[in-house]
Amino acid sequence: MKNKHRAAIGLFLSVLWISSSLNAQSLNLSGYVRNGTGVLTQGDHAYSMLQNTLSLNLEHSRGNVAFKANPYLYHYSDRDLELGLREAYLDIYFDSIDLRIGKQQIIWGKADGVFITDIISPKDLREFLLLDFVEIRIGITALKADYYLGNHTVELVWIPAFTPTRMPEENSIWRATPDFPIQPAFDYSEKEIKETLENSEVFAKYSALTSMIDFEIMAGYAWDDDPTLHTAKTMDPNTHQLTSLLITPRHHRLSLLGGSVSVPAGGFVFRSEGAYYRDKYFQSSDPNLSDGVLKKNYLHVLLGTDYTLWEVKLSAQFIQQAILSYDEQIVQDEFENTMTFLASKDFLRETLRVEWFSYLGLNHRDALIRPRITYNLADGFEIRTGANIFVGSEGKFGQYDDNDMVVAKVKYSF
Amino acid sequence: MTVRTIQILFAIGWIAASPFVSAVSSEETITGLQVIEKVYNRPAGKDMQADLTMTLINSRGDQRVRKIKQFTKDFGEMEKKIMFFVSPADVRNTSFMNWSYDKEGKNDDQWIYLPALKKVKRISSDSKSDYFMGSDFTYDDLGDRHPAEDSHALLQEETVNGEDCYVVESIPKEEEYMYSRTVTWIIKDKWIGLKKAFYDEDEELLKILTVKNYEKIKGYWIILQTEMHNVQKDHRTKMELENVIIDSGIPDNKFTERMMRRGLK
C-alpha cells in the first residue's frame, strides 16, 4: 500500500512538474481540491464518507489539434488511495469534422439525473447516485467523430472495449443484496467481455439546435452495462426442496433507438426523452425457467419542464420504464414510475445557493431527498452542506432507508 | 441586435452614427422617441469580439472579478452572441449563447454549456429582471430594449462633463416592469448615453449607470468602461472592455453548439 501511495504521489508530482515546465507553452492547468465528510444519522453515526480529492485538468491546443487529460486522486481514511484517469483524449479539428480519440466521457440526452439515451459512458455507482454527475460517468476509450452542418450534427462513436457499471464494493453501505431463498454461490467466469472487434459497441446520433426546437435521434448497438444474474437451481428430487443456487452474472447485447427534444414556450422549457431497448433481460420468479431470466423489449421515457418563478428555478420530470409483452413472473413491475423535482434559488449576489432535489419512486412510495446549501466564501472556494434522506422501505431509494446522512464538502477550484 | 449587444452589456451602449443624425429634420424639434429610435437603429459593425472584465464591489469595498471572452455577429434579422467564461475557476469553460431577433415580441433563444454536466442546455430567456452573474445589471439592462416598449419624453438639454446632452425620460408601458421609469443623458453629437438613472417600482432612485471611457474604433464609438451603482444597496459593478476587434470576419460557425463545447480552443 505504501508503494501504491508513493507511485500515485510520484505520478502527480510528475504531472505538476510537467505542467510547470510546459507552462511557457500555454499548457492550461486547472482543477480542484475537495474534502467531503458524511455522517450517517442513524445507528452509531458512522462516517458514510471521509474523502479528500485532487482533480487536475491539463489542456493544450495548437492549431487544429488539442489534448486534455483529467487525472484524479481519491484519498480515503479506510481504503487504498485511488488514482484514476477520468479522461485522456486527443482532438483533431477539421473544417466540418471533429475527431476525438482516447478515454472520454460521452453524455447524450436532455434528461437531468436520469439515464435514458445517456448510456454510452457507464456509471460509477459505488456511492449510489450521490456523486457529482461528472464523477458518476466513467470515461471510456472511444473514437468519436462529429460532422457539422451549421447547427446540425451527426455523431458516430465506436467503443472498442466494453466497460461495465462499477458496482459498490462488498462491504459498502450501497451494496444492494438481492433476495435469494438460500445462500447462493456465484460463478463470475462469464462476466468478462473479451476485448475483440466483434465485441465493440457503436452509437450514432443526429442532433440539431434550432430556434424552435433542439432534438437528438440516436441508435446504439451495445452491451447492457448491468449484468443479468442467471440463476441455476438444484432441487432435491425427493423433497422438491431447493438445495443449491448458482448465480452467473453475464452481460448481454442490447440495441436501442431513442431520441430527445427540448422546446421553449413562454417562460417554460419542455423536455422529453425516450428510448426503445431491444432484448433486455429481466429477472423472473418463474420456476419453469432454467436460468431465471426473460428477454423482453423495453421502453424508458421522460417528460419534463423547467420554469423560473419568483427567481426560484423549478424543474420537474416524470419518468416511466415499461416492459413490453410483460410476463407476470418478472420481478420488476411492468410499469415503474419515478418523478424528480428540483427547486433552487440564489441569494447574496449568487454567492449563496439553496437547493432541493428529490427523486420520488411512485411504485414503492420511496424517495431520495437532497436539500443542500452552497456558499461561495471567495471566488472558486465553496462550502457545501446538505443531507441525503432516503424514504420508504423498498424500491430503488427505500432500500437505503438506513443510509440517511448529513454531508459537508469544501472545494477549492483553480 | 448587432455589435450593439456587447455595447449594451454596459447597460446602454448608446452609439450614434452621423447619417442618422442628419436624418433628423431639426434638432430643435426632436422628440424623446426620435432620440431613442435613432440610437436603437444606429449602424454598427458586422461583428465584434472583446474581452470583458466585470468587477463587483460591495459597500465594504470587497471585490469579485469575472472575466468573459465574447463574440457577436449580425445575421440580418437576428444577432448571435457567444460568451466564454474565463474566470473565476469554478465557472471556467462555461459558455452561453444568445440569438436575438429584430422581430418585435420574439423572445431570444438561449443555451448554456455547463462543463460539469458536459451538456448544452436550452434555458428560458423570460427572466429578464434577474441579475446577471450577481452583478448590478439585469439581463434586460444588458439586452436591446425596443423603443416601442416605453413612452419617451425629452425633458431638457444639459451639459454633463463638458458634453451637450439630451435628457430623455422613458416610462415602460408594461405595468409590472421592474423599473417605474428611467432617465438617460445622451451626448448630442456622439449619441452615447453618458448617464442613466433607474427608478424602482416605488419611484425611488435605484441605480445610476455612468460611462467612464469611450473611444472611436473603426469609425464606431465604443464604450470601454462603465459603472452601475445601486444606490440603495451601495453596490457597484464596473465593466471594462479590452482587446476590442470589430469587423474581423468572425465565421458563422462560431455561434454553434460545436463551439460552445469546444470553448476557446
Measured between beta carbons, which residues in chain A are less than 8 angstroms from residue B56? 349
CB contact A264 to B (< 8 Å):
yes
CB atoms within 10 A of CB A234: 11
Query: Cβ contact (<8 Å) for B258 and A98?
Result: yes
Looking at residue B157, its pLDDT comes to 94
How far apart are the C-alpha atoms of B44 and B5, rounded to whole Å?
A: 10
DSSP A199: G
Tell me the average pLDDT across B168-187: 93
Q: Smallest Cα–Cα separation from A62: which of A95, A101, A30, A90?
A: A90
Looking at residue A384, its pLDDT comes to 98
Q: Which of A350, A352, A355 to mutate to test the interface with B (most CBs of B within 10 A)?
A: A350
Measured between beta carbons, which residues in chain A are less than 8 angstroms from residue B107? 264
Q: Which of A115, A120, A137, A211 to mutate to test the interface with B (most CBs of B within 10 A)?
A: A211
The residue in chain A having the minimum alpha-carbon distance to the alpha carbon of residue B129 is: A311
All three cell numbers of A132? 457529482
CB contact B89 to A (< 8 Å):
yes
Listed in sequence order, the residues at least 6 apart from A5 whose beta carbon sits closer than 8 Å to its beta carbon are A81
Query: Cβ contact (<8 Å) for A269 and B119?
Result: no
Measured between beta carbons, which residues in chain A are less than 8 angstroms from residue B64? 379
User: Which of B77 and B26 is assigned the larger pLDDT?
Assistant: B77
pTM: 0.88
SS3 of chain B: CCCHHHHHCCCCCCCCCHHHHHHCCCHHHCCHHHHHHHHHCCCCCCEEEEEEEEEEECCCCCEEEEEEEEEEEECCCEEEEEEEEEECHHHCCCEEEEEEECCCCCCCEEEEEECCCCEEEEECCCCCCCEHHHCCCEHHHHCCCCHHHEEEEEEEEEEECCEEEEEEEEEECCCCCCCCEEEEEEECCCCCEEEEEEECCCCCEEEEEEEEEEEEECCEEEEEEEEEEECCCCEEEEEEEEEEEECCCCCHHHCCHHHHHHCCC
Looking at residue A14, its pLDDT comes to 66
CB contact B126 to A (< 8 Å):
yes
Query: Cβ contact (<8 Å) for B122 and A311?
Result: no
Which of A107, A146, A264 comes nearest B109 by C-beta? Answer: A264
Query: Cβ contact (<8 Å) for B258 and A146?
Result: yes
Which of A211, A308, A346 comes nearest B99 by C-beta? Answer: A211
Average pLDDT, whole number, for chain B?
86
pLDDT in tens, A331-358: 999 999 999 999 999 999 899 999 999 9
Place of cell 448630442: B188
Reply yes or no on whether the pLDDT at B6 is more than 50.
no
Reply yes or no on whether the pLDDT at B135 is more than 90.
yes
CB contact A279 to B (< 8 Å):
no
Question: Given pLDDT bands bounded at 50, 70 and 90, which one contains residue B15?
Answer: very low
DSSP A237: T
Contact A60/A69 with Cβ under 8 angstroms?
no
Reply yes or no on whether the pLDDT at B5 is more than 70.
no
Tell me the average pLDDT across B181-191: 90
- State how far residue B134 is from chain A, nearest Cα, in angstroms: 4
- Please give the ipTM for the structure prediction: 0.90
Contact A246/A189 with Cβ under 8 angstroms?
no
- Counting one residue from A and one from B, how many pairs have CB atoms under 8 Å apart? 96
The residue in chain A having the minimum alpha-carbon distance to the alpha carbon of residue B256 is: A151
Question: B198-202, B219-223, B255-259: which range is least confident on average?
Answer: B219-223
CB contact B256 to A (< 8 Å):
yes
Half-sphere exposure of A228 (CA within 13 A, CB side): 23
- State how far residue A59 is from chain B, nearest Cα, in angstroms: 9
CB contact A105 to B (< 8 Å):
yes
Looking at residue A6, its pLDDT comes to 62
How far apart are the C-alpha atoms of A103 and A141, rounded to whole Å?
A: 4
Beta bridge partners of A145: A99, A156
pLDDT in tens, A176-214: 877 787 888 999 988 899 999 999 999 999 999 999 999
Q: Which of A99, A136, A270, A379 to mutate to test the interface with B (most CBs of B within 10 A)?
A: A379
Tell me the average pLDDT across B197-214: 95
Q: What is the pLDDT along chain A (414 residues), one digit of tens a residue?
A: 455 566 666 666 666 666 555 555 678 999 999 999 999 999 999 999 999 999 999 999 999 999 999 999 999 988 889 999 999 999 999 999 999 999 999 999 999 999 999 999 999 999 999 999 899 999 999 999 999 999 999 999 999 999 999 999 888 999 987 778 788 899 998 889 999 999 999 999 999 999 999 999 999 999 999 999 999 988 888 888 888 889 999 999 999 999 999 999 988 999 999 999 999 999 998 888 889 999 999 999 999 999 999 889 999 999 999 999 999 999 999 999 999 999 999 999 899 999 999 999 999 999 999 999 999 999 999 999 999 999 999 999 999 999 999 999 999 999
Residues 138-157 on A with a CB inside 8 Å of B are 146, 148, 150-151, 153
Looking at residue B25, its pLDDT comes to 41
Contact A154/A160 with Cβ under 8 angstroms?
no
Query: Cβ contact (<8 Å) for B253 and A307?
Result: no
Question: A242-251, B18-27, B251-260: which range is least confident on average?
Answer: B18-27
Looking at residue A130, its pLDDT comes to 94
DSSP A159: E
Place of cell 457529482: A132
